[in-house]
């Protein structure tokens, strides 16, 4: 009996879909699969390597000898090599040894569809099945109601390797995260958690953004079924899970996708389209059908197999523009003579159509930093089809404003008000992400001016302004308690800071902001509609005060917000009152329990005196460097 038996999981229809780039569940066919053939248990292998002269499976089971287990090439010009190897099963490590028709080049590659990988620095794939008894039926049943664009969406961004370490300063496991992290996110009131890339990656300083195992949760923290256990635990606590996903580039590591079968198989062969000089990585060939099917299958895989609720798509701008980070002469215009990558745009639209047509209640979120139009507009209306887009301009302008000494802020108030001129052109998510607390930018609290009291007051005001500005929210771990040091991927967050009142006050304020966001329909029902926002006054530059209204479907839920961006309290400050009724203060960032000075509005004076175009008005105290929210 031959070492490799002829066997296939592919039908002719599968092959047609694959060649046409329309097979969106390739993980069910390609890769390694435990099967039984003629009563004998073993593993079926299938790999796409159209430029190969021969492909062998090598591992400990054959002493890594490429002569022992040669796969069979299919007859249909699909470029797929496959076969059944009896008597090897779960837990075996393996790679593909590929001899290329291209000058007999040899490569030894990890399986692009491997479900589990060796712990770095080891690089082999592992035959695996991730059995898990899901207990999240309730969440999956009502997810579309929890995860909609008219629902609260407050995201806690996490790098699993550095959120917290154990007593020996080692990584926590997926199962430990299922207790510690789940309980913390729930206690803090976030609606979602977002993981920086958890797909297998070889190099820790890449933070996970240089992937080699697209279908395998990193083995740093445990097994694939243990990662499912973690997702399940979040769902059982009504918390959605978003994965950072990287279809924009991949590393040149010898065992990875690059030059896979001795040819530019996954990457674009033209270095002007196929290589990132910034990240020294390769760019997918978005015009190749099989590569599109690989990437869309990967997105579908995490939503299908791991019950993930959303994908935050990394570096979309780098995909959209042919001249991204390139000088003149380093890129070639498209057929229309401009700089848009038409193949990448087509791929993105197909990706989003496939995701939204396959799953109810999921979201795709674009990290896109330019003014590209229609990122979150539906494909049928000419957009790219994402559910949301990061509002990078808001983040940049807001932090630039807050870094200024308060005495100068009156000259720059337009940095804050400008966002409202374009706030509803996309479905925007407001991000304070990991990128804002690294590379010398300082932590958020240390970007605030003034003495220690003013730094913390500024930070509370910044977060209060963020939560009352239209759009969904994202906050990187550590920001929620005023981490003082820049983020360091090699060490735990500085949890010891919570023994100090200022840091504990920030954390308590974020808890209350999250609770308010989830309980106040005015903050989320129309968060992507101009009907959900109304200025009272954006022109009081001299006092550095902004006042505005947030609205939901029912006007009785409307909120009035007043922000004071100076350390001078504004007492008896008159605000036009847009509607009748008694007003009460529902949140004040200067509350003593947050570390503030206690300038609260226990009684709000109402008046028939007209102000700001309204027949009635109120007088309140807006505390120094404070935000007041009234209902």
Contact between 214 and 311 (Cβ < 8 Å): no
Phi, psi values for residue 289, rounded to 5°: -55, -45
**252 in catalytic set:** no
Closest by Cα among 38, 94, 85 to 64: 94
Contact 308, 366 (CB under 8 A): no
Alpha-carbon gap, residue 209 to 199, rounded angstroms: 9
Kindly report whether the peptide bond that precedes residue 352 is cis, defined as omega within 30 degrees of 0. Answer: no
554 forms beta bridges with none
Reduced to 3 states (helix: H, G, I; strand: E, B; else coil), residue 17 is: helix
Instruction: Tell me the DSSP string of 139-199.
Output: HHHHHHHHSSTTS--EEEEE-TTTS-B-TTS-BPPHHHHHHHHHHHHHHHT-SEEEESP-E
Catalytic residue among 244, 367, 415, 480: 367
Q: 14, 82, 157, 314: which is the annotated catalytic residue? A: 314
Decide: helix, strand or coil at residue 109.
strand
CB 365 within 8 A of CB 387: yes
Residue 505 φ then ψ, to 5°: -65, -40
Q: Are strands 192-195 and 154-158 parallel, antiparallel or unpaired?
A: parallel
Return the sign of the alpha-carbon dihedral for residues 304, 385, 313, 311.
Answer: negative
Query: Would you say the C-alpha torsion 281, 286, 287, 288 has a positive or negative sign?
Result: positive
> Are 481 and 497 spatial neighbours (Cβ–Cβ below 8 Å)?
yes
3 state SS of 212: coil
- Are the beta carbons of 257 and 204 closer than 8 angstroms? no
CA distances from 607 to 500, 507, 521 (A): 41, 36, 27
What's the residue count for the chain? 631
Is 606:620 a contact under the CB 8 Å cutoff? no
Encoded tokens for 564: 């004071």
What is the spatial distance between Cα 117 and Cα 31, in angstroms, rounded to a whole number?
A: 12
| Helices 137-146/224-236 angle, 10° precision | 60
* Residue burial 424-447, b: 16+ Cβ < 10 Å; e: rest: bebbbbbbbbbebbbeeebbbbbb
Active site residue 367: yes
User: Quick one: residue 276, left, alpha or beta (phi over 0 = left, psi -120 to 50 = alpha)?
Assistant: beta
Q: In angstroms, rounded to a whole number, what is the distance separating the alpha carbons of residues 176 and 166? A: 10
CB 275 within 8 A of CB 282: yes
Rounded to whole angstroms, the Cα distance separating 356 from 625 reads 43
Count of alpha carbons within 13 angstroms of residue 259, beta-carbon side: 16
Catalytic center residues: 314, 367
């Amino acid at each position: 009996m031959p070492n490799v038996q002829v066997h296939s999981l592919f039908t002719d229809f599968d092959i047609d879909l694959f060649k046409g780039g329309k097979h969106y569940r390739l993980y069910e066919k390609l890769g390694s699969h435990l099967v039984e053939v003629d009563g004998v248990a073993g593993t079926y292998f299938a790999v796409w390597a159209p430029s190969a002269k021969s492909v062998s499976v090598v591992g400990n089971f054959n002493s890594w000898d490429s002569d022992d287990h040669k796969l069979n090439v299919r007859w249909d010009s699909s470029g797929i090599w496959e076969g059944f190897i009896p008597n090897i099963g779960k837990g075996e490590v393996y790679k593909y040894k590929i001899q290329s028709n291209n000058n007999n080049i040899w490569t030894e590659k990890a399986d692009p569809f491997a479900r589990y990988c060796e712990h770095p620095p080891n690089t082999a794939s592992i035959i695996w099945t991730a059995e898990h008894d899901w207990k999240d039926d309730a969440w999956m049943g009502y997810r579309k109601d929890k995860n909609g664009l008219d629902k609260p969406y407050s995201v806690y961004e996490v790098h699993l390797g550095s959120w917290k370490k154990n007593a020996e300063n080692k990584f926590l496991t997926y199962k430990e995260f299922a207790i510690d992290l789940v309980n913390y996110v729930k206690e803090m009131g976030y609606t979602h958690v977002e993981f920086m890339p958890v797909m297998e990656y070889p190099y820790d300083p890449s933070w996970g953004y240089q992937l080699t195992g697209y279908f395998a949760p990193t083995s740093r923290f445990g097994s694939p079924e243990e990662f499912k256990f973690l997702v399940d635990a979040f769902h059982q606590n009504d918390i959605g899970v978003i994965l950072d996903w990287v279809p924009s580039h991949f590393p040149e590591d010898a065992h990875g996708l690059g030059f896979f079968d001795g040819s530019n198989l996954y990457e674009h062969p033209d270095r002007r389209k196929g290589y990132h000089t910034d990240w020294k990585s390769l760019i997918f060939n978005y015009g190749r059908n099989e590569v599109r099917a690989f990437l869309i299958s990967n997105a579908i895989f995490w939503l299908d197999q791991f019950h993930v609720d959303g994908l935050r798509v990394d570096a979309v701008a780098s995909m959209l523009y042919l001249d991204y980070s390139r000088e003149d002469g380093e890129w070639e215009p498209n057929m229309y003579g401009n700089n848009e990558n038409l193949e990448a745009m087509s791929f993105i639209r197909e990706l989003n159509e496939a995701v939204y047509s396959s799953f109810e209640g999921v979201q795709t979120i674009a990290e896109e930093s330019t003014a590209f139009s229609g990122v979150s507009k539906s494909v049928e209306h000419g957009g790219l089809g994402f559910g949301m887009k990061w509002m990078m301009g808001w983040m940049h302008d807001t932090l630039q404003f807050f870094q200024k000494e308060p005495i100068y802020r009156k000259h720059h108030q337009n940095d804050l008000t400008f966002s409202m001129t374009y706030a509803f052109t996309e479905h925007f998510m407001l991000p304070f992400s990991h990128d804002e607390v690294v590379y010398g930018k300082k932590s958020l609290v240390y970007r605030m001016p003034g003495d220690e009291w003013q730094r913390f007051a500024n930070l509370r005001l910044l977060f209060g302004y963020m939560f009352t500005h239209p759009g969904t929210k994202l906050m990187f771990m550590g920001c929620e308690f005023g981490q003082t040091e820049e983020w360091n991927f090699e060490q735990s967050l500085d949890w010891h800071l919570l023994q100090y009142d200022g840091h504990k006050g920030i954390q308590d304020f974020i808890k209350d902001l999250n609770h308010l966001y989830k309980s106040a329909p005015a903050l989320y029902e129309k968060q992507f509609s101009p009907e959900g926002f109304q200025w009272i006054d954006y022109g009081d530059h001299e006092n550095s005060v902004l006042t505005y209204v947030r609205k939901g479907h029912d006007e009785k839920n409307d909120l009035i917000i007043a922000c004071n961006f100076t350390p001078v309290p504004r007492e008896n400050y008159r605000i036009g009152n847009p509607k009748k009724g008694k007003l009460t203060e529902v949140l004040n960032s200067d509350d003593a329990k947050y570390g503030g000075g206690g300038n609260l509005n226990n009684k709000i004076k109402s008046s028939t005196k007209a102000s700001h175009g309204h027949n009635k008005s109120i007088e309140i105290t807006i505390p120094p460097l404070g935000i007041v929210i009234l209902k």
